[in-house]
Amino acid sequence: MAVQILSIGNSFSQDAHRYLHELARGEGQDLQTVNLYIGGCSLEQHFRNLKGEKRGYTLEINGHSGEGFTTGIREALTARKWDVVTLQQASHESWRQESYQPYLKILAEYVRENCPGAKLYLHQTWGYESGSERIRQQGFETYGEMFARVRRCYEQAAEEIGADGIIPCGQAFQHALERGIGRIHRDTFHADFGVGRFLLALVWYGYITGEDVGKVRFSWFDREVSEREYEIAKAAAEEALVRTAEKV
């Protein structure tokens, strides 16, 4: 039976969804993924879009953009019987605790009202590339510095809304960097088209299904992934998932 997944997100959830459906299908799992995409969309903007009943979201299905098809949050939430709904903060606001509320609480309440049977997860985003101009503009020098703040914000936000969990993508990125992955961002903040998006798919797949990501076999990439990158990504995903499970 298919698992129906809806992300109210932006380009970071677009990165996470790119390979997820196909990766899961290769492992005999049916994950049907839908992403509501507006580039750089923050929790505040999602809230304003909901209240204004705006239909400006591009509908992305199973990792592919449905250009020309737009929808709104209210319409999307009632379109299917969702098993999982994810929310996230825009990356440039993700380390600012004050940017989450009251918007996240209102969005979470609305999701629960319309999708009472769905798990509500926060999609933990990640830090920017160490030493980049973009990370310096946020007041940090290294990925670790920025992500430490991001992680604390997501943990507090999850507690405030009683989230069912946090998908540990930023944590997995940190483990991959610690293991010497090299460059995992494509433009100092989005995920690399190859190994970055692969790592995100592994984390989402493992978190949602509970399956062992170490056994995954996948090779359908938009950018070549070396054997070394492939193995580091799997190890980093496993480590992030294990550490997350230990906290529960």
Res. 148: pLDDT tops 70: yes
Backbone angles phi, psi at 70, to 5 degrees: -120, 155
| Number of residues written out for the chain | 248
Determine what percent of the chain is predicted with pLDDT higher than 90: 95
Give the DSSP H/E element, type plus range, for residue 71: strand 64-71
- Which domain, by its residues, includes 126? 3-247
Q: What confidence tens digit (pLDDT) does each residue in 57-95 have?
A: 999 999 998 766 789 999 999 999 999 999 999 999 999
3-state secondary structure of 86: strand
Amino acid at 181: I
User: What is the model's pLDDT at position 65?
Assistant: 83
d(C-alpha 234, C-alpha 236), whole Å: 5
CB 194 within 8 A of CB 221: yes
Please give the pLDDT value at position 112.
98
pLDDT at 248: 60
Closest by CA to 122, choosing from 153, 81, 78, 80, is 153
- CATH number of the domain encompassing residue 20: 3.40.50.1110
**First vs last C-alpha separation in the chain:** 27
List Cβ neighbours of 174 (8 Å cut-off, separation of 6 or more): 126, 127, 143, 144, 147
Q: Which residues of 180-202 are buried (b: 16+ CB within 10 A; e: fewer)?
A: ebeebbbeebbbbbbbbbbbbbb
d(CA 152, CA 201): 23
Helix (H, G, I), strand (E, B) or coil at 122: strand
- Look at residue 89 and give its three-state secondary structure: coil
Contact 23, 202 (CB under 8 A): yes
Asked whether 156 and 121 are in contact (CB, 8 A), the reply is no
Looking at the structure of the chain, the number of domains it has is: 1
Averaged pLDDT, 16-34: 98
| pLDDT tens digits along 149-207 | 999 999 999 999 999 999 999 999 999 999 999 999 999 999 999 999 999 999 999 99
| Mean pLDDT, the chain, whole residue set | 96
Q: Which of 46, 68, 197, 191 is nearest to 127 (CA)?
A: 191
pLDDT 10s digits, 196-248? 999 999 999 999 999 999 999 999 999 999 999 999 999 999 999 998 887 76
**Structure tokens belonging to residue 185:** 């961002």
- What is the pLDDT, as a whole number, of residue 19? 98
